[in-house]
Structure 1
Amino acid sequence: MRSSNALIAYWLPTVGIGKKPAIHYVHVPLTEVLNYRRADGTPQVDVVNLGGCTFNVAEDFDTAPLWFDPVLQTTLQSGAVAQLQGAGIKVLLTIQGSGNLPGTPMGWESVTPAQLPILLDYINNQILGSDGYNLDGIDVDDEWGPSGPYLEPTMTALGKSFNGQRMLTQAVTSGYEVPADAKPYVSFVNTMVYGDDFCGLVSGYQSCLDAGFAPGQVTIGVNAGPVAQGGGGFTSVATTEAATAWQPDGATKLGMMLWTFSQDIQQFTANPQNQPDKLYPNADDHSWQAAIIAVMQGEKVTIPTCEPEAC
């Protein structure tokens, strides 16, 4: 993957658009990522993080440590991952806590020493192994699970088990969320501060440098969506462009993270959502991604000035 101007994009199996009871559900195929190319012909996206996977509940953990959204499961079995990898795109599995699954919740912080070997074997063989899904690594999203003392030993053991052959990344609001012992095994981190405050995005990035990450190990994450609607932590196209253009003093950031490729469609990002003339697929879909790539390829934009304490 690129060492700068990289684009990491999350993909969701299904996007729910609108409010109950009139929610529309849209599936954006994973292979659609391949339709978008840079000026040199390479894919715009360097890394895709697959959403739709959580820890299983404690009652089922020993036999099936992870739970998969059915649409994600179908996608993993379809050959789509190999198509992206063939184009040079790294494909990682994002794992969250068990959230709303019925049963005793599990998450990154609650994997006990007795359960850890089960998880490591499952990930390395069923998820990353050539006899499994042959993915390129794991993205840690430490949300929607119970609090506990086991994030550091779990991430550290997982990183060690990769032997430098797979990627381990983490989504963070601050660089200090990455456990100290696990940090040497983390390839890079994606900030998920989100919102439409440019200086807030920069501050989230800076926190990762303050925590010991190199400038080229950190992306700035943006959240594609209808900013005017409010309440969603969305990032405008203009703020996205400014964050893409911004670089730390005397260095270069890894790039940008987009939450999400699947939501970056007109049916979701327009205000109001689900407008009849903006239903998926639409010729103007993936406009946040287009804005990021345009700046990465040289389009000039104005970068706001932040107060020193904000940056």
Structure 2
Amino acid sequence: METLLLNSDDVNENAQMGELIPVIEDAFAAYERGDAQMPPKSYIDLPQYNGDFRSMPAYLDAGEWDAAGIKWVNVHTDNNEKYDLPTVLGTMIYSDPKNAFPLAVMDGTSLTQLRTGAAAAVATDHLAVEDATSMGIVGAGVQSYTQLEAIATIRPIEEVVISDLDEERVAKFIDAFEDRFEIRAGSIADAAACDILSTVTPVESPIVSREDVGEHTHINAMGADAEGKHELADEILFDAKLVIDDYEQTTHSGEINVPWSEGVLTDEDIYGAIGEIVVGEVPGRTDTDGITVFDSTGLAVQDVAAARVVYEHADENDNGYPFDLVGLNA
């Protein structure tokens, strides 16, 4: 037996968004049903490097298949400027649950981008208006690309507004999608007025105000992934149907972590978890809903589910580099 080494190209080639979205939905459902083990995300804080590490292990039993793995991931905000490296780097180890053999070691950075986009698409499918055709994105970094790719898979997106202080990043984003969408640069208010809004920034002071948001806008709050991060004004959270991915993670490091820790936002303000909606325990969008918000911190079960898809297809397609990691062939 050999372990498959899969780089970024291999991950992207073997994880088509149309297949990934329902698999991530299955992961939310399994987690809600209790058919998964996912210890809390652990952090190693490195303020001297303006960064941190996170370890994210999980086991997932989706019925017809099961999977296990761990992602070792970081956020180092100075990486691009100082080292010409992405802010987020990740490595995923995907293992066979029945015997613990490491089936694959793969690029976790691309995997994170793909499963994060897919998670937003699952939430959007359940919480956005059915005829949503416009999408705003605040933040033109790497996560913005899979947000659009994924959400355009489940809604007929025609118009896209991208907002970012970095004009070069905006131009690059527009260039990537102008052949497929009516796309333009705009203000945060322009983006927030769309049918769907995804925020993918690392800010610690809210940049989207209540006045910016359309009355029936669905918001995917994807940027907050550590204590103190906060993209949306508290008034948006109070007025919205507020859906989270995991209580422990969102109250610790999600979009709601700041107002929740201050006691401004309480458990009563949380409508439910995305898993509850997926399995039908509570309804998603109803005719009476206005603003909806999905607070996404990213779950290890998503990584494991996505890694399974990547590994299975890469193995079928003879992609990647097989090597004797364990030394069975020595």
TM range (shorter): 0.3 to 0.5
Report the TM-score when normalising by structure 2: 0.32
Q: With CA pairs under 8 Å and 6+ residues apart, which has the higher RCO, 1 or 2?
A: 2
Normalized per residue, which structure has more helix? 2
Report the TM-score when normalising by structure 1: 0.34
